Amino acid sequence: MNLQNLSPTASPAQHRGIVLLSARELDKMRQVGKLAAQLLDYLEPLVQPGVSTQELNDKADRWIKSHGAVSATLGYAPANHPPFPGAICTSVNEVICHGIPSPKHILKDGDIINIDVTPILEGYHGDTSRMFLVGNPSATARKLVEVTKEAMMRGIAEVKPGARVGDIGAAIQEYAEANGFSVVRDMVGHGVGRVFHTEPQIPHFGQRGTGVKLRPGMVFTIEPMLNEGTYHLKFLRDRWTVITKDKKLSAQYEHTVAVTEDGFEILTLP
């Protein structure tokens, strides 16, 4: 999500304006997180050359409804954005994030695509995304995808009580840049729970020992976007689609993560 569109929320347990989820709420987050991961498992074999991103959207939408959930992205309209028209985001090649599904966008051999899903189940959001290879992408594309996944995992591994938000970003940035890729600055991870996008913001770059201190019960996404070229981005005229300024490739992975008493729990696993 953009830096601007995070809204604070009211909820019983908080620390410095950041919601701390109860054991009962974490259980709800586990349920919806698992559902989100299973949706990506369902979509994986459908990603093939010749398939349109609209077909993926429509199958995802039906799957979400048939599991008693609704999509958080469909009609989502934060400040300065028109309502998002998709049940999922489909971001292909130079699209960094928030790609809009379209019947005109047919996947072709060599594409890389991020599918980002956020079902809502019993009021709680599960937010996760993965990359999928269409046919046989270039070695560079495959390396970008692998490095992005590992960068996310290294960010997640920093999560424990007492660690700081800056530790997460530093771990991601160090690994990305050591592999010759850049980290998108203007889009961040975010607190998630009853609200889709809330505090804290989780930048995917930064300095160790800086930023908000993590506490058990905090739940947020870690969703690094890595670029083949520079980290600069631009918005398309639809005011949603974010692309690389240099039109080179971008990749993203996302998990929703809870801070536990002794570390972290990834909530968006199948």
Rule CB under 5 A: is residue 116 a binding residue for Co ion?
A: yes
Amino acid occupying residue 260: T
Contact letters (x/-) for Co ion, 15-54, by CB under 5 A? Answer: ----------------------------------------
- With CB under 5 A as the contact rule, the residue among 114, 221, 227, 244 that binds Co ion is 221
Closer residue to ligand MF3, CB minimum distance, 2 or 93: 2
Q: How far is the CB of 261 from Co ion (least distance, A)?
A: 24
Closer residue to Co ion, CB minimum distance, 107 or 187: 187
Closer residue to ligand MF3, CB minimum distance, 164 or 204: 204
Q: Which residues, 121 to 150, sit near ligand MF3 by CB under 6 A?
A: 127
- With CB under 6 A as the contact rule, the residue among 18, 21, 39, 89 that binds ligand MF3 is 89
Give which of Co ion, ligand MF3, none residue 231 binds (C-beta under 5 to 8 Å, depending on kind).
none
